Amino acid sequence: MRLTSFTDYALRTLMYLAMNRDRLVTISDIADDHGIARNHLTKVVNHLGHLGYVETVRGRAGGLRLGMEPEDIVIGEVVRHTETDFHMAACFDKSAAACAYSSACALKSLLGRATDSFMRELDGATLADMVKREVPRKGKHGAVPGAIKAVPVKITTVRRKSA
């Protein structure tokens, strides 16, 4: 099953906020660190705010923080709130025309069970589970501060001979 970018960004945002609970985070922080368009991320954050997952603090020193404890945010619920549909095939869409194979086809049942298994796995995980490993915090553009030492390099320029 493939999740939409909206859901991907929602999960990344929640994880980012969970890993930065000691401070308020801006949309620009998340957008810059993940290479996400700020305008699209704003829509995601607004949706998460309406659902209670994110709180916003207005003002010059404002920003975002989690609206719930990470242990109380179930990944499956977030996915259900951010995905528009789970139609893995046309036969799942009740508004679509009936499939010619529907009387003999077991595909819909198989895909339905697969979707249920997928969601059951997500329902068994919380945001706290997603961030419980000690992961080095990344700086701008994904760099891990102090992970790589800078090595001085001498840059030389070589000029080509004219023909």
Burial label, 10 (beta-carbon count in 10 A; 0-12, 13-18, 19+)? buried
Q: Which CATH code is given to the segment(s) 5-88+124-142?
A: 1.10.10.10
Q: Which two tokens stand for residue 129?
A: 């589970």
The alpha carbons of the chain give a radius of gyration, in whole angstroms, of 22
CA–CA separation, 31 and 25 (whole Å): 11
Q: What is the pLDDT of residue 163?
A: 52
Domain ranges of the chain: 5-88+124-142
Q: What's the pLDDT tens digit per position in 14-57? A: 999 999 999 999 999 999 999 999 999 999 999 999 999 999 99
Q: What's the pLDDT tens digit per position in 82-133? A: 998 776 666 666 665 566 666 667 777 888 888 889 999 999 999 999 998 6
Q: What is the pLDDT of residue 153?
A: 43
User: CB–CB of 12/79 below 8 Å?
Assistant: no
Q: What is the mean pLDDT of residues 56-78?
A: 94
Q: What is the pLDDT of residue 147?
A: 40
